[in-house]
A and B are shown apart, each in its own frame.
Chain A
């Protein structure tokens, strides 16, 4: 309405200098009950404001394409609320496990949570990205076409050599992981040939090696032990420790045997005081079979051996070893011990047990699964959260 525009212009300039434009509103009384041009302008503006607000015509819109249907049912309300909690920071490292469990059950997250999930995945690693893209399904792809921040969901799928040569880090890793499971030797040769690239690439290479790990990988990993960049030597050491028969594992076992002895049913640390940190590091890289083999005991029995004040240190070292060597029996034995034992003291112990709790069987978090569980330790809290998280996905109606 140009009359309104004229009024705004006059008010910007000010009635000291501008003339008040006339306003014609059909059926409205003419307003001129004031002498002050400023008052007249305001009165006319008031009339027009009410008229414009009441008579506002609707706009037109360009409709969006319609999203194709997602045949998967949404998770129940309780699971949706838990997802919202994780997205706001509560145990958010469990998102990967939650999304995997949701996908395995043929479910999908609530549509309203997708923007927050996509924002989270955008800043996360390739694993979480592909999980979110899969869980989000057609609705996530539809959203990604509206918001370029989320275009990783609809990035073109490169296959074969193209993915390796031209893809982003996630696509390259995906290609390499596929090759590793089909032909472990070819993947190893590709890694060796590409080793002189960026440190980030080398870390990615190591991340696909646990699949089909064998002694044939040992030279490559021994070489990586001397790599000064980032945490590559740590990743290599963890892999070698979990590789039965590796020279590195043997060397660590020799060092560990010198530090820790079983004497008359009691574990003794043969070491000077204040070497807790060293013991954790050595135990973390020692093949766990060293202890079951040497002592002729099961993991649960080893873990239960009395060790006096060194017990928390040993627990931390074994926990790290069990996690990187992916040894389920040890994870189980250590978790049961951690649930009933005293809370960890040092930061190293806390972190080791936290990692353990993330990988332990969530069934251990069920009420009364482990008699005597202490309710307040971080291990108990994490396991209980995981147990409930997975259980409620199977509930018909989680209100």
Chain B
């Protein structure tokens, strides 16, 4: 069993700053009339709060997973965090037997974990796969009808629709086992309220969704790489083990260009963009955290890792897994392209994957504010900054009217700046 965790590790479990803040005053023996631990596998305790009965808190350290009788919906709640902090400080005796209430929860967890896996049955697996293909196909047909209905009735009605309008069709895509489509549809609810030009943006999305539905139904006739792209955009996932087994890893020194965190449906997604020093390839490494889990922050902006990356199969392979990681070395600031170069690269990628709407940008540019906030290069070509990125004052402050290297995400609405390099070549996350 590994030893006690340090405070930093406990801190990293907190879902937000406020729960950690609330936990600090509870992390003292006074608040915990009863505590105990089982040899690095679990910690439990009773916390005397404002309620008459103490809250009962258990943490299964192998997950970690949390159980607490308090009404909080955060995992871990402040009690679980406080208990872990107390344990981290060595203030919890670690050689006890759990009381009944803790033991039953821990037992139910270990029973679930050790449940025998169903024996592999290739015929049944094939049957399930076929069933899913059938469900997805009918889901795509339904989506196609829904999209045509929208355009038949007119998009003008969209501004009066509430979120339900898109949630309903998204829910049907979940039933059809096409979760990526569902996610894309749910995100559309915000488009009618995204300001001037919303109608064009909604039409673009609907048009590309119909194209996706058509491609999904006729995937047998598509080239293999495009089929992989279509299937992933519908929601078929490729298991990490299969990526590692099938892809030839790309060995390089990968410079960490930028990262961006996005929250949707209580899941935080971290997108980390890497650039290979020798191959010149760009890779996107995703990590996810549900409530109660901390995100992978081992890839620090400005560092360079000596690693093998395995790319997911796709028409434009961007997403990758770190298959083997050897060493982290301080990286040198990368050189960006022109804006024409960025647009050329994006156009070529669109030729392979017309749904691609987030494209890595690494450009040598100067920020400007008129006619709207934008970046321009030595040739005088300019691209707008994404309106959602805000005023981007730190970017302007770093530039002072001089050119600098900027990494970010190019989208049809504009460039979302994520990292800039200062005069000393240091990477500054924006």
Seen from chain A, the residues whose Cβ lies within 8 Å of a Cβ on chain B are 4, 7-8, 11-18, 36-39, 41-46, 48-50, 53-56, 58-67, 74, 77, 110-116, 139, 142-143, 146-147
Contacts and interface: CB of A to CB of B under 8 A. Distances in A.
A40 to B, nearest CB: 10
Contacts of B200: 4, 8
B426 interface: yes
B346 A38 contact: no
Contact of B376 (A45, A48, A61, A114): A61
A354 to B, nearest CB: 19
B344 to A, nearest CB: 10
A63 B368 contact: yes
B25 to A, nearest CB: 15
Report, nearest first, the 6 A-B pairs whose CB atoms are least far apart: A14-B154, A67-B400, A45-B207, A58-B381, A115-B393, A61-B382
**Residue among B207, B339, B374 facing the most chain A CB atoms (10 A cut-off):** B207
Interface string B329-361: 000000000011001001100110010010000
Contacts of A110: 422, 428
Chain A interface mostly helix, strand, loop or mixed? helix
B339 A14 contact: no
B424 A60 contact: no
8 contacts: A11-B154, A13-B156, A53-B412, A59-B374, A61-B380, A64-B396, A64-B401, A74-B422
B207 A42 contact: yes
A11 B204 contact: no
Contact of A65 (B393, B396, B398, B401): B401
Contacts of A48: 207
B382 to A, nearest CB: 4
Contact of A112 (B208, B375, B381, B394): B394
Nearest to A67: B400
A308 B350 CA distance: 80
A64 B375 CA distance: 11
A9 B208 CA distance: 18
A51 B262 CA distance: 28
Contacts, number: 160
A54 B400 contact: no
Residue from A4, A11, A14, A115 with most neighbouring chain B CB atoms (10 Å): A11
B382 A142 contact: no
Contact of B350 (A14, A50, A64, A67): A50
Contacts of B401: 63-67, 142
B152 A49 contact: no
Contacts of A38: 147-152
- With a 10 A CB-CB cut-off, give which of B154, B340, B376 has the most chain A CB atoms: B154
A65 B370 CA distance: 12
Nearest to A16: B152
Contact of A46 (B150, B207, B346, B424): B207
B227 interface: no
Interface centre among B210, B347, B397, B428 (most CB of A within 10 A): B397
Contact of A111 (B147, B203, B343, B398): B398
Contacts of A37: 152
A14 B153 contact: yes
Contact of B199 (A12, A56, A111): A12
A54 B342 CA distance: 11
Given A50-B350, A58-B383, A61-B374, A115 B368 contact: no
Contacts of B382: 58-61
Contacts of B400: 66-67, 111, 139, 142
Contact of B369 (A17, A43, A114, A146): A146
Given A16-B154, A41-B151, A63-B368, 16 more contacts: A7-B203, A12-B156, A14-B151, A16-B152, A44-B207, A46-B208, A46-B210, A53-B346, A58-B383, A62-B368, A63-B401, A64-B367, A65-B401, A67-B400, A112-B398, A146-B396
B366 interface: yes
B153 A16 contact: yes
B145 to A, nearest CB: 9
Given A54-B347, A111-B422, A59 B383 contact: yes
Interface string B207-246: 1101100000000000000000000000000000000000
B118 interface: no
Nearest to B348: A54
Nearest to B144: A39
Contact of B384 (A59, A143, A147): A59
B350 A53 contact: yes
B199 A8 contact: yes
Contacts of B211: 43, 46
B409 to A, nearest CB: 14
B75 interface: no
A36 B154 contact: no
A283 B260 CA distance: 55
A13 to B, nearest CB: 5
A58 B350 CA distance: 17
Contacts of A61: 368, 370-371, 374-376, 380, 382
Contact of B343 (A4, A44, A58, A66): A58
A59 B340 CA distance: 11
Contacts of A65: 401
Contact of A58 (B147, B339, B393, B402): B339
Contacts of A50: 350, 354
Given A39-B148, A45-B207, A146-B396, A60 B153 contact: no
Contacts of A63: 366, 368, 376, 401
Contacts of A42: 147-148, 151, 206-207, 210
A143 B210 contact: no
A64 B149 CA distance: 48
B154 A12 contact: yes
Given A50-B350, A59-B374, A64-B368, A11 B155 contact: yes
A375 to B, nearest CB: 14
Contacts of A116: 394
B380 A60 contact: yes
A110 B400 CA distance: 12
A48 B380 CA distance: 26
A7 B381 CA distance: 28
A143 to B, nearest CB: 6
Given A63-B401, A146-B369, A13 B154 contact: yes
Contacts of A49: 204, 207-208, 354
A243 B97 CA distance: 68
A64 B369 contact: yes
Nearest to B151: A38
A15 to B, nearest CB: 5
A208 B130 CA distance: 84
A45 B156 contact: no
A56 B343 CA distance: 8
Contacts of B369: 62, 64, 146
B397 A55 contact: no
Contacts of A56: 343
Contacts of B393: 115, 143, 147
Contacts of A66: 400-402
B203 A8 contact: yes
A111 B421 CA distance: 11
A190 B284 CA distance: 67
Contacts of B397: 111-115, 139, 143
Interface in B277-309: none
